[in-house]
Amino acid sequence: MILFLQQIINGLSVGSVYALIALGYTMVYGIIKLINFAHGEVMMAGAYFAFVVAISSRFPFPIVLFISMVMAAIVGIVIEKLAYKPLRNAPRISALITAIGVSLFLQNLTLVIFKADPKIMPVLIEKKPINIGSLQIGTVTLTTLILAIVFMVILDVFIKKTKPGKAMRAVSEDKDASVLMGINVNKTISITFAIGSALGALGGVLYGITYTQVYPTMGIMPGLKAFVAAVLGGIGLIPGAVLGGFVIGMIETISKAYISSQWSDAIVFGLLIVVLLFKPTGILGKNEKEKV
């Protein structure tokens, strides 16, 4: 039982990282119906920003994290302005191919700048085990869980209570009607990319601290699993992204502990196929009828 509870805690930690990254996917899709496959690379960029700031200064972890999230938000806005905005009215396949191109560009740009060898992430969070009875929780795991929950609550309040958040909800519902109501759609989309990219950077920094390494392709698998989490929970729904992230994290961790570490990824992707066979819109998604 102690081992099982330990795996549950580890699963929540991994799942919180996936949930943070999945929020970026689902927010962008909810606004402009685009699967931003470059989001995993934005997560990677956030981890590299933290790495550079950490080795070049003696800033504490909160400041390093803040700078990383701000820089990633700027990267997200630049990507949206240069790559996606010109294709706003183009067929969706054009934007999708562009997203894949941006992903490859960011990977190779990082490869040129930092080379292929993994960099060791400096110790930003002191690793001390915290004992709760027979359970042992690492400080990195606890910090990851707390930060993920705090930022998810902040995002929920922002979306529901603030004027930009309400504008994002309006644009998601009906872009044309939002324009008629005086909402600046371009500004709202930029804010969405900024927030999604900042949350992706948060996930990237926590991922880099957990596994102690950063490297140019580190965003591929977490980004793919976060996309699976977003689809599993219900793409375009913020609660769905959070739920999907935690479900994927739990299943992956328990699969590694009790079945096989080699089969864990196959089990995760197999679960997605099974869920979509019975509920194509995801766990929290609702079927919408289109009038012909």
- For the chain, the domain total comes to 1
> What is the model's pLDDT at position 289?
56
Q: Is residue 64 part of a domain?
A: yes
- CB neighbour class for 150 (10 Å; exposed up to 12, middle 13-18, buried from 19): exposed
User: Does a structural domain hold residue 66?
Assistant: yes
119 backbone dihedrals φ, ψ, rounded to 5°: -100, 140
pLDDT at res. 292: 46
68 found inside a domain:
yes
**Of 48, 53, 37, which Cα lies nearest the Cα of 207?**
48
Structural domain that includes position 141: 23-219
Q: Is residue 86 part of a domain?
A: yes
33: left (phi over 0), alpha (psi -120 to 50) or beta: left
CA dihedral 190, 76, 144, 218 (to 10 degrees): 160
- Average pLDDT value for residue range 161-175: 89
The arithmetic mean of pLDDT across residues 58-71, rounded, is 93
Q: Is the pLDDT of residue 233 over 60?
A: yes
Q: Is residue 15 part of a domain?
A: no
Q: For residue 192, how many other CB atoms are within 10 A of its CB?
A: 24
Predicted confidence at residue 287, as pLDDT, reads: 62
Residue 129: inside a domain, yes or no? yes
How does pLDDT run across 24-50, given as a tens digit for each residue? Answer: 889 888 888 888 889 999 999 999 999
pTM above 0.95, yes or no: no
Per-residue pLDDT, averaged over 64-92, amounts to: 92
Q: pLDDT class for 288, splitting at 50, 70, 90?
A: low
Please tell me the number of Cα atoms within 13 Å of 90 on its side-chain side. 13
Q: Is residue 10 part of a domain?
A: no
pLDDT of residue 35: 85
Residue 88 lies in a domain: yes
Indicate whether 290 pLDDT > 60: no
